[in-house]
Amino acid sequence: MKMNYKENCPLKDFTTLKIGGPAARLYQPSTPEKLEQVLHDAKERNVRLFILGNGSNVLFADEGFDGWIINLAENWSGIEDLENHRVRVKSGTTNEQLAQHAARHGLAGYEFASGIPGTIGGAVYMNAGAYDGETKDVLVSVDYMDLDGQIHTIAAEDLELGYRHSWFENHPGIILSAVYQFQPGEPMQIAEKIADLKKRRWDKQPMDKASAGSTFKRPKGSYASKLIHECGLQGTHINDAQVSTKHAGFLINNGNATCKDFLDLASLVIETVKKETGFELELEVRIIR
């Protein structure tokens, strides 16, 4: 089977931070058979792999990635309605697409994720959450492919879902689809809740700027944004990497920030917060070198 791919593809074009050098190869398989072929070829050549969805929580190095990127996004999207208010969703589907589908069909429970700028695969991988809701609240099971091309199903209760963590962080596997359990609701009310949460996001967060969402994990006993704000760091920048003046928990790219700029700024924030408050912040963004 001949597989199409792009060579030396700029990864900044595939992330919401708009940062990152070239990938040796970028594949966008659209079927399990094509995905399995990429895995087979990579294994034969002993090259590194990275699975990328919407690129909303990753930071690639300025030098790029010397392995192969498997991009599962629009080419791997789709929603299937099942019985008893359940849906099966392909991992490249965005959280917004699922939330809007659920609203149209009177399925309540995914409103919290409507504004999370990533895919279902990413949401499962990190147990994404917002506004008092988490993926684990509605997830039933996940289908994934191991690195040998075999497909497995794993129940949500076996995924070790915790704060920004899942079983997949320590077990290689490519999330193919997920089954969710929702509750019946009124489409209009669900849509209104989504609209309200969207407005709250746009009022409080720099949604018009390139970012990876919340840059730091929530420290026990406080909030990253509160600590950063109290340290007077909002507006601090290193070249085009800046602590957002709108929301202190976001480090943004004002145009031409590099990975080095971003990491230098993140280190400055972490060191300052530690020195002035005693809290030690931890990056939520995944750094891929």
169-183 pLDDT tens trace: 999 999 999 999 999
Residue 242: count other Cβ atoms within 10 Å of its Cβ.
Answer: 23
164 part of the active site: yes
Which one of 164, 166, 211, 225 is the catalytic residue?
A: 164
Closest residue by Cα to residue 23 from 1, 35, 58:
58
Residue 130, pLDDT score: 87
Catalytic site residue from 36, 111, 134, 284:
284
Q: Would you say the pTM of this structure is higher than 0.75?
A: yes
Which residues of the chain have a pLDDT value below 50? none
Whole-number pLDDT of residue 132 = 86
Instruction: Note the pLDDT of residue 218.
Output: 92
pLDDT value of residue 1: 67
The pLDDT value recorded for residue 3 is 78
**Which one from 91, 141, 166, 214 is the annotated catalytic residue?**
214
pLDDT of residue 5: 93
As a whole number of angstroms, the distance between CA 178 and CA 101 comes to: 15
Annotated catalytic, 286? no
Q: Give residue 93's pLDDT.
A: 97
Whether 48 is a known active-site residue: answer no
